[in-house]
Structure 1
Amino acid sequence: MAWDLSVDLIKATVQLEQPVGDGSRTVGTGFLISDPTPGGKPRTILVTAAHVFEKMPAMSAKIGYRVQGKDGVWRFDPTTLKIRDGDHPLWVKHPTRDVAAMEVEAPPEFVKAAIPINYLAQDDTFNRYNLGPGDEMMALGFPRGLSANPAGFPILRAGRVASYPLAPATSFPTFLMDFSVFPGNSGGPVFMAEGARRRPGSNQTQEVQFVAGLLTQQVELSGERLEIGIVTHAKFIRETLALLDKLPGATVTQAKAGKTVKGDPPMPPATPAVAISATAMAASR
């Protein structure tokens, strides 16, 4: 496979967290997209579920960047991300869906790692590849604040599409995935990275690599988790990104490497959160 979306998305996915007064923290997942301005200026956008930011009351959060040393070893390097200016949110929210986006000034390694916007699924993507129930997709996130290792890389999960039909997104804005979802997963990318899928009506194979959407909810009924995730289509990520172009004088938020919250050392990424608010509960869509 010439290009591996799973590895690239792992590099582009970050933990978002905000300490809570009782010593616990609110945790969510976000990922970076490269989306130039209408004038062609490079721009790095952080995408997550809107409720992740909404459940963070303070003006700043931490974004879990990672740094690779000269010896090749990665280390967790969370930095401060301003998400509010007083009572004014610095992110834009989709008017009807649980999607948020904000422009960030990321370290050079993460600017390079940001996923090009053209890898977000379009309205016809599911039909073009003849995708449906039973097809496997993957998701990245930080369940209960856990990471894959002390360097802060996200945990990769896999599950099968559990609903039908999947398109059009205007009629079916979300779809179901059969896999366990935990607080901390919200906002993580859901994607397909298949190297040899048969073309519809042909014996030829093709690479199928695209971001299908982001995880926004888990299904819970009468207090019981059903181990089903709800994915919001990438169409609504695209629409949220378009809202950034309508802002008067786009403001870049500062999230530079090496600037952590004074007096609040970063909690090790492999430590489970005591309190979490990263996945909304829902009995239905």
Structure 2
Amino acid sequence: MAWDLSVDLIKATVQLEQPLGDGSRTVGTGFLVSDPTPDGKPRIILVTAAHVFEKMPSMSARIGYRIQGSEGVWRYDPESLKIRDGDHPLWTKHPTRDVAAMVVEAPPEFAKAAIPLNYLAQDDTFNKYNLGPGDEMMALGFPRGLSANPAGFPILRSGRVASYPLAPAANFPTFLMDFSVFPGNSGGPVFMAEGARRRPGASESQEVQFVAGLLTQQVELSGERLEIGIVTHAKFIRETLALLDKVPGATVTQARAPKPEPAMPGATPAVAVSAMAMGASH
């Protein structure tokens, strides 16, 4: 039976927020992953962009759980989430990429919504399915702290892959997406959910559904938003989760920049990349 990654990820995606005391709040997006401990015990991990937590100065944030009542009606039911112990962050950050993960105690009904670890793309996924510029992907988030409805579900957006090449992640740790990005989107999952795609050399089509990465930045030039999002590969989410267990021998990718090409006469200067500030005022 066909499964719909879009619905699974909508259920697993949560709003992260912290009031700032001046009537505004800082907002980001996260999603839950089911990743058992090395000894097999169930464990739920919250994944987001590291700068989402770093922009939150207080000890606790709010995580936007949703509860379905006996009559099937959903309601927003956020809970407090401790993110610091004094000056010590309770999340684990990837050493070179804008990715963070922390273990959370989710309500039992919400823990069931966490996506399995194998939904996350691996280093060869893009080449395996011959993915590239122009392919459509989707993203979930809470732009400027807005949700799809009072129940607190995330807003689904879509866009086209806007850069080449996409792999290997060691050389190209991020890729571009052609879609509007707003404060509050940071940390949201970017994924592909295509019903039928033919792999190179294959005679039959198959479903292609995986989490490609998470949204971490937007592109700006001279202060102007270019409607382009920057996605960090899921490979670095996997590496961050491995760091939670301090797996012996686990390797962390040190991203290698491609050798720069000589500048052409009249070439446009490099585009300035701006991390999305999470201060959505309400």
TM-score higher than 0.5 here?
yes
- Report the residue type matching 1:24 in the other structure: S
Cα distance per residue 1:68-89 (max 9 Å; x no partner): 1111110100100000001000
Runs of 4+ residues over 6 Å off in structure 1: none
Please, what TM-score do these two structures have when normalized by structure 1? 0.86
Please, what TM-score do these two structures have when normalized by structure 2? 0.87
The aligned counterpart of 1:135 is 135
The aligned counterpart of 2:237 is 237
Q: CA deviation at 1:278?
A: 8.2
- Report the residue type matching 1:167 in the other structure: A
Cα distance per residue 1:61-116 (max 9 Å; x no partner): 00000011111110100100000001000000000000000000001122111010
Contact 2:175 2:231 in 1 (8 A): yes
Q: CA deviation at 1:35?
A: 0.4
1:1-285 matches, within 5 Å, as: 2-246=2-246, 279-280=276-277
Cα distance per residue 1:125-163 (max 9 Å; x no partner): 000000000000000000000000000000000000000
- Report the residue type matching 1:96 in the other structure: T
Contact 2:61 2:83 in 1 (8 A): yes
Cα distance per residue 1:154-195 (max 9 Å; x no partner): 000000000000000000000000000000000000000111
RMSD of equivalent CA atoms: 1.5
Contact 1:217 1:280 in 2 (8 A): no
Q: Distance in 2 between matches of 1:107 and 1:193?
A: 27
- Report the residue type matching 1:172 in the other structure: F
Q: Look up the SS of the partner of 1:10 in the other structure.
A: helix
Q: Distance in 1 between matches of 2:189 and 2:218?
A: 14
Contact 1:184 1:278 in 2 (8 A): no
Q: Distance in 1 between matches of 2:90 and 2:64?
A: 18
Contact 1:49 1:215 in 2 (8 A): yes
Please identify, of 194-203 and 95-104, the stretch whose mean Cα deviation from structure 2 is larger: 194-203
Q: Distance in 2 between matches of 1:188 and 1:199?
A: 27
Q: Distance in 2 between matches of 1:7 and 1:279?
A: 26
Q: CA deviation at 1:203?
A: 3.5
Structure 1 alignment gaps of length 5 or more: 248-276
Contact 1:27 1:278 in 2 (8 A): no
Q: CA deviation at 1:279?
A: 2.0
Q: Distance in 1 between matches of 2:63 and 2:239?
A: 23
Q: Distance in 2 between matches of 1:53 and 1:202?
A: 44
Identity, in percent, stands at 90
